[in-house]
Amino acid sequence: MDQHIPVWIDGHLQPMDKLAVHQRGLRHPAVSVFVVAGDRLLIQRRALGKYHTPGLWANTCCTHPLWNEDPATCANRRLDEELGLTGLALAHRGVVEYRAEVGNGMIEHEVVDLFLARCDSRPDVRENPDEVMDHRWITASDLHREIEQRPAAFTPWLRIYLHEHGAQVLPGF
């Protein structure tokens, strides 16, 4: 893997190979997006080719910003790249930090800009099979119940967001 992402080293952002960042558990910026239509959240199942947490259910989308890319631009870019979603009005919901083991000896230590898009109706989703193997719309109660019953089917960050930051990320959900 030869993709570089920003990482904090000695208090300054520097580019580093993404895989190395996760192998070393280094603190780095990220974005996470939640798209809600009515009473349902759009979640995705990560493609099996992903190098960590393949096949697990996650929030609508998440990624790392490119060098000098602002978080909102990154969030919009990734919605399009992963799910073919464009033109959504994203509301910034704050910044959270978490650290979690994600399997295969890797650690996510992210400082995450959170975004929420509320839609009147469900937008058409076009999955990128390199990134997403499935998606679905789910109510809050069903999502919480499924996570309680099968936590290993969901990414650590989705469980953290809902458990520790639910009111901030998804007010009223």
Non-local CB neighbours of 153 within 8 Å, separated by 6+ positions: 56, 57, 146
Residue 1 has pLDDT above 50, yes or no: no
Nearest to 110 by CA among 2, 18, 173: 18
Total-model pTM: 0.94
Residue 46 has pLDDT above 80, yes or no: yes
The whole-number average pLDDT for the span 39-54 is: 96
Residue 41 has pLDDT above 50, yes or no: yes
Marked catalytic residue, from 61, 62, 82, 108: 62
Task: With cut-offs at 50, 70 and 90, classify the pLDDT of residue 149.
Answer: very high
For the stretch 2-35, pLDDT in tens is: 588 899 988 889 999 999 999 999 999 999 999 9
Average pLDDT, the chain: 94
Nearest to 25 by CA among 111, 96, 113, 101: 101
Look up the CATH number of domain 4-169. Answer: 3.90.79.10
User: Has 62 been annotated as catalytic?
Assistant: yes
Displacement of CA 127 from its chain's centroid (Å): 15
Task: With cut-offs at 50, 70 and 90, classify the pLDDT of residue 128.
Answer: very high
The whole-number average pLDDT for the span 123-136 is: 97
54 and 47 in contact (C-beta within 8 Å)?
yes
Q: Residue 42: how many CB atoms within 10 A of its CB? A: 24
Marked catalytic residue, from 69, 108, 110, 131: 110
